[in-house]
């Protein structure tokens, strides 16, 4: 509490316009190295007291000793604040720009600076954020405002997810139906569109909501970002997540097994030459609009279900000697890569592009954890680390009970900050890890205010991960700096999460609970999920209760009903049996329809001691919830069996619990 008071006091002091001298220790991302000296300098404000020099001999010698990569060398700078003002030493324009960013960052809190010296350069080449503007459209002005924050944080990449089932968001002159039809839908928010049948609408019709970026707007975004040394990476999804493309141009759809009908799914047809003609035509215009070295093609979560029966796909697999539908996806990725390479661009895709064989020059964005990224690096491919276990900022960042609806999971600031992109990567493959990126999918993020709430301050952590040496990062300092920057963003009209009043993880997760079943043997009539195993066969009686996150924590998941029996070791009086259950309807985790407690003295003859029926209404809008299913009992027993029965609704897939408490 005292630490929080001191942080808030510092915020009030700085935001009140007080003249306290600012030091480099306020900057996000934290500089590589700095010294602070006695004395202060008041900036003139017109820039006349800022002098820029080519890197001097001492600075060049220092950089050479560090054996910096080209990107780090180009962004390196030394900044000195002294009696005569500010001196910047740099190797080029980008280094000067980074130095001015640090100076501007300090000056945004006070024009009085402590005498100091900063030596700085980035750890990774790619430091980015992905913003999904397909699920819920965001316009040019909003994107420009976010570029301003990325600029302040020395980030250099904004990845725009421009196309998905929920809407096409960029003008393509050759295929006007993409923006005349597929950019508009019935249902303003993604949740409304999904629940009402996923219908698109003609532009200008009364029910049409949505929008797209015109070529002129794209040009303005790209130009604005380029001036701030930020690269805009466009993403056009293929072969999956493409229902909107099929709706606008049915010729890219697969055929039914008899070849007489179109099959409308979310996957384009890789067996159809027309598919490649259209995709290449779209990419031609994307390449014209976006100068990015990388063109992101998605490649994730293709169902491939229609490919198995489609005569065109079956013919392609036979003629090309492909190994099933994974081989067919690999064929598409290889072919698109060849096309992009012929245009002087490189293919970037989610880690599913590895299925069936990775295209020769492809760069992998690893989102399903880190293992696929590590494997791709070992194969000699460049990788951008973006694991959902650390870098998915569509997950909750604070207690779900006090947060707006999210897709589920829990990634607070401390979690994302703890990530090291080189963790688990053999040193000989370090050079293939280009950097780090966080992703904001917007299925449940419908407004501009909500987008900013999810982005900030977690984007601050991504910036520091990507820039600051791992050995120089420390969370307590970072959190204090983040609280200050959050308050500054609020003053500028942004809507960040109120970090100073963070609730934190589930309180029960910090302490162990003591009860009669703690440490007792558990027998499983139905196996737990290997993906959500927690601590295995000791998880339900180890005294540990789960936090807000269901994955990588103390919650144990069952793909279906849970049926376990605990041996208490001896016959004894029992008065209560209960367990907490977790519900995240958007991730197919629901409360059991009912729980039953059965007891026995001999382990063979059981009697029903209690039944608890779920009275809680769940639904897609209900968010993440936790509930105690417990009941008093008045029995004598050694064995306790708990049965948690799921409902029969399609969304009822998993049941999760953290501890079975017996008293």
The residues carrying an active-site annotation are 164, 241, 301
Token reading at 145: 């405002």
Token reading at 223: 């130009």
- Which spans in 269-396 are helix H? 273-289, 311-319, 324-342, 371-378, 388-391
- Based on its alpha-carbon atoms, the radius of gyration of the chain, rounded to whole angstroms, reads 28
Angle formed by the axes of helices 475-491 and 458-467, to 10°?
130
Which residues lie below 8 Å from residue 574, measured CB to CB, with a gap of 6+? 516, 599, 609, 633, 634, 635, 636, 637, 640, 662, 663
* Alpha-carbon gap, residue 30 to 463, rounded angstroms: 9
Q: Tell me which long-range contacts 365-373 makes (C-beta under 8 A, separation of at least 24).
A: 365/296, 365/437, 367/300, 367/391, 367/392, 367/439, 370/423, 370/424, 373/425, 373/433
Which residues lie below 8 Å from residue 526, measured CB to CB, with a gap of 6+? 558, 560, 561, 562, 563
Alpha carbon 92 to its chain centroid, in Å, reads: 33
Alpha carbon 566 to its chain centroid, in Å, reads: 39
Per-residue DSSP letter, 537? G
Query: What is the edge-to-edge ordering of all strands in the sheet holding 50-54?
Result: 33-42, 112-120, 77-82, 85-90, 50-54
* Alpha-carbon gap, residue 192 to 207, rounded angstroms: 12
Token reading at 346: 């490189």
Tokens 């900022």 -> residue: 393
Closest of 406, 451, 425, 428 to residue 620, by C-alpha: 406
Give the dihedral sign, CA 74/79/85/87: negative
Q: Are strands 607-613 and 85-90 parallel, antiparallel or unpaired?
A: unpaired
Reading phi first (left if > 0) and then psi (alpha if -120 to 50, else beta), residue 480 is in alpha
Within 10 angstroms of residue 558's Cβ, the number of other Cβ atoms is: 22
In terms of Cβ atoms closer than 10 Å to its own Cβ (0-12, 13-18, 19+), residue 105 is: buried
* Alpha-carbon gap, residue 269 to 265, rounded angstroms: 10
Q: How far is CA 350 from CA 149, 238, 239, 246, 385, in A?
A: 25, 11, 12, 21, 10
Closest of 196, 171, 651, 165 to residue 443, by C-alpha: 165
What does residue 420 show for φ and ψ, rounded to 5 degrees?
-120, 115
């Amino acid at each position: 509490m005292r630490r929080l008071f001191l942080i808030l006091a510092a915020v009030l002091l700085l935001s009140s316009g007080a003249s306290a001298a600012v030091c480099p220790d306020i900057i996000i991302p934290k500089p590589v190295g700095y010294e602070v000296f006695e004395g202060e300098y008041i900036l003139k404000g017109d820039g006349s007291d800022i002098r820029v020099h080519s890197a001097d001999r001492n600075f060049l010698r220092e950089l050479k000793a560090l054996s910096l990569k080209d990107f780090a060398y180009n962004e390196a700078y030394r900044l000195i604040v002294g009696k005569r003002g500010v001196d910047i030493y740099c190797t080029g324009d980008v280094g000067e720009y980074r130095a001015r960013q640090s100076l501007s960052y300090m000056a945004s809190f006070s024009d009085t600076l402590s005498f100091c010296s900063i030596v700085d350069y980035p750890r990774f080449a790619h430091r980015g954020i992905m913003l999904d503007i397909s699920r819920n459209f965001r316009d040019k002005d909003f994107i420009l405002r976010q570029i301003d924050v990325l600029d302040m944080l020395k980030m250099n990449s904004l990845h725009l997810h421009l196309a998905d089932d929920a809407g096409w968001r960029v003008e393509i002159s050759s295929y006007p139906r993409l923006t005349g039809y597929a950019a508009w839908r019935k249902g303003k928010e993604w949740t409304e569109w999904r629940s009402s049948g996923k219908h698109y609408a003609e532009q200008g019709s009364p029910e049409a909501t949505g929008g797209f970026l015109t070529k002129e707007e794209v040009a303005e975004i790209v130009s604005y970002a380029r001036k701030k040394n930020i690269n805009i990476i466009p993403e056009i999804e293929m072969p999956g997540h493409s229902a909107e493309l099929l709706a606008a141009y049915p010729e890219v759809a697969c055929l039914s097994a008899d070849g007489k009908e179109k099959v409308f799914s979310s996957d384009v047809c890789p067996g159809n030459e027309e598919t490649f003609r259209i995709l290449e035509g779209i990419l031609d215009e994307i390449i014209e609009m976006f100068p990015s070295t990388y063109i992101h093609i998605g490649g994730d979560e293709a169902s491939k279900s229609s490919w198995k029966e489609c005569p065109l796909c079956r013919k392609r697999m036979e003629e090309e000697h492909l190994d099933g539908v994974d081989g067919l996806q690999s064929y598409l990725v290889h072919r698109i890569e060849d096309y992009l390479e012929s245009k002087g661009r490189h293919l970037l895709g989610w880690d599913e592009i590895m299925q069936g064989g990775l295209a020769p020059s492809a760069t992998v964005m690893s989102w399903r954890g880190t293992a696929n990224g590590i494997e791709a690096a070992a194969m000699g491919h460049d990788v951008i680390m973006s694991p959902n276990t650390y870098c998915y900022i569509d997950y909750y960042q604070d207690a779900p009970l006090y947060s707006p609806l999210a897709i589920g999971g829990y990634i607070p600031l401390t979690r994302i900050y703890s990530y090291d992109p080189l963790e688990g990567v053999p040193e000989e493959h370090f050079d293939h890890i280009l950097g780090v990126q966080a992703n904001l999918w917007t299925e449940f993020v419908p407004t501009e205010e909500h987008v900013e709430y999810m982005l900030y301050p977690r984007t601050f952590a991504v910036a520091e991960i990507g820039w600051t040496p791992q050995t120089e990062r420390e969370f307590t300092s970072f959190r204090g700096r983040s609280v200050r920057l959050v308050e500054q963003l609020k003053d500028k009209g942004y809507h960040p999460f109120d970090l100073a009043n963070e609730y934190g993880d589930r309180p029960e997760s910090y302490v162990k609970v003591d009860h009669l079943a703690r440490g007792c043997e558990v027998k499983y009539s139905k196996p737990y999920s290997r993906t959500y195993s927690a601590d295995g066969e000791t998880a339900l009686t180890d005294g540990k209760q789960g936090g807000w996150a269901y994955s990588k924590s103390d919650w144990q998941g069952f793909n279906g009903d849970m049926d376990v029996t605990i041996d208490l070791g001896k016959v004894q009086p029992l008065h209560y049996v209960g367990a907490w259950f977790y519900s995240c309807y958007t991730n197919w985790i629901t409360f059991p329809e009912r729980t039953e407690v059965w007891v026995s003295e001999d382990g063979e003859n059981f009697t029903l001691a209690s039944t608890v029926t779920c009275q809680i209404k769940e639904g897609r809008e209900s968010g993440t919830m936790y509930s105690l299913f417990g009941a008093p009992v008045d029995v004598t027993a050694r064995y306790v069996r708990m049965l948690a029965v799921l409902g029969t609704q399609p969304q009822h897939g998993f049941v999760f619990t953290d501890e079975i408490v017996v008293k």
